[in-house]
């Protein structure tokens, strides 16, 4: 899929990040995020995460990859720039009895020394950073030589990639922001990491299972920040139009035949080894 990657010469990243924080603080993403826990578990296996590893979870949200790493007895630092999401991660770690360090941090300016971690993880998180190259550079900077970056990134042609495209057509993103789903393309990853890492990928699917398409729409428009903000920005006609488009999108991907919703959401599992 050909996606425009050119950006303006001057981009106000601070303003974009402030807008993004408002988006991800809207609704209650933690209730959506927790349903994706299996992705964090799978990713930890993909990077061969061990109990002796020092691990950084970037854009951790409510801590799926964080908890998956903690279950493997790693030394884990969990970061995000939305404090409310970190609080949800803290509560989950405390409930499970894990000693995890949580710290508010910008993925484009990580507050850690060079070559400080054995493993860096991000599940559907770092892909949403506005300055993609800087985020990639920062993950590599804090990673030890031979260490591994593990990512789960939605693909452009998959269900969530098409969802973001649908929402963006109704409520355009800020000028200068590259599509986050570029992280779901091997060629773009090669441009971000270059010769500094050996990148291996595998295409996987997370299956969205809901009672019905209407159930999914109601849950996501109530809890998922990008949809919460999109519906709030539209008038009644626009809201009806967006809802119809969401039902049509689900119809394209839905494999259920009993009125339920069973939609595979394709993502790219990435393991980048620092050279």
Is position 117 within any domain?
A: yes
Is position 154 within any domain?
A: yes
pLDDT confidence band for 101 (50 / 70 / 90): very high
pLDDT at 173: 86
Is position 61 within any domain?
A: yes
The pLDDT of 166-183, averaged and rounded, is 91
pTM of the predicted model as reported, rounded to 2 decimal places: 0.93
pLDDT at 2: 44
Could you write out the DSSP letters of every residue in 29-65? HHHHHGGGHHHHHHHHHHTT--TT-EEEETT-TTTHH
Q: How many Å apart are CA 143 and CA 192, to the nearest integer?
A: 15
How many structural domains compose the chain? 1
pLDDT confidence band for 131 (50 / 70 / 90): very high
pLDDT at 71: 98
pLDDT at 139: 98
Segment 59-70, tens digit of pLDDT? 999 999 999 999
The pLDDT of 120-129, averaged and rounded, is 97
The DSSP code for 179 is: P
Supply the range of the domain harboring residue 168.
Answer: 13-207+263-274
When mean pLDDT is compared over 10-19, 24-33, 189-198, the highest value belongs to 189-198
Is position 231 within any domain?
A: no
The pLDDT of 181-204, averaged and rounded, is 98
The pLDDT of residue 6 is above 50: no
Is position 216 within any domain?
A: no
Is position 246 within any domain?
A: no
Segment 73-94, tens digit of pLDDT? 999 999 999 999 999 999 999 9
pLDDT at 225: 94
The pLDDT of 157-179, averaged and rounded, is 93
pLDDT at 217: 98
Is position 50 within any domain?
A: yes
Task: Tell which wins on pLDDT, 115 or 3.
Answer: 115
- Name every residue whose Cβ is closer than 8 Å to that of residue 244 and which is 6 or more positions away in sequence: none
- Name every residue whose Cβ is closer than 8 Å to that of residue 113 and which is 6 or more positions away in sequence: 142
Spatial contact of 142 and 120, defined as CB atoms under 8 Å apart: yes
pLDDT at 175: 82
Taking alpha carbons only, the member of 11, 16, 20, 68 closest to residue 44 is 68
CATH number at residue 74: 3.40.50.150
Is position 225 within any domain?
A: no
pLDDT at 174: 81
Strand-pairing partners, residue 205, are 266
Strand-pairing partners, residue 270, are 151, 201
């Amino acid at each position: 899929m050909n996606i425009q990657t050119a950006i303006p010469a001057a981009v106000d990243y601070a303003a974009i990040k402030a807008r993004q924080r408002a988006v991800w603080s809207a609704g209650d993403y933690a209730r959506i995020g927790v349903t994706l826990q299996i992705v964090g578990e799978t990713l930890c296996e993909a990077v061969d995460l061990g109990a002796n590893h020092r691990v950084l979870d970037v854009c951790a949200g409510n801590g799926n990859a964080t908890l998956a790493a903690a279950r493997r007895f790693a030394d884990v630092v969990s970061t995000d720039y939305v404090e409310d999401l970190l609080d949800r991660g803290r509560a989950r770690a405390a409930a499970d009895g894990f000693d995890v360090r949580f710290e508010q941090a910008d993925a484009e300016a990580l507050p850690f020394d060079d070559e400080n971690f054995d493993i860096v993880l991000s599940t559907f998180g770092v892909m949403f950073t506005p300055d993609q190259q800087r985020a990639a550079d920062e993950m590599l900077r804090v990673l030890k030589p031979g260490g591994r970056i593990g990512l789960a990134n939605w693909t452009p042609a998959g269900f969530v990639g098409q969802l973001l495209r649908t929402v963006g057509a109704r409520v355009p993103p800020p000028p200068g922001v590259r599509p986050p789903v570029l992280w779901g393309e091997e060629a773009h990853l090669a441009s971000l990491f270059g010769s500094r890492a050996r990148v291996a990928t595998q295409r996987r699917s997370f299956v969205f299972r809901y009672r019905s398409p209407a159930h999914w729409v109601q849950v996501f428009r109530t809890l998922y920040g990008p949809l919460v903000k999109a519906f709030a920005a539209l008038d009644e006609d626009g809201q009806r139009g967006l809802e119809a488009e969401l039902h049509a999108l689900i119809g394209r991907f839905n494999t259920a035949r009993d009125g339920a919703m069973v939609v595979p959401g394709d993502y790219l599992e990435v393991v980048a080894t620092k050279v």
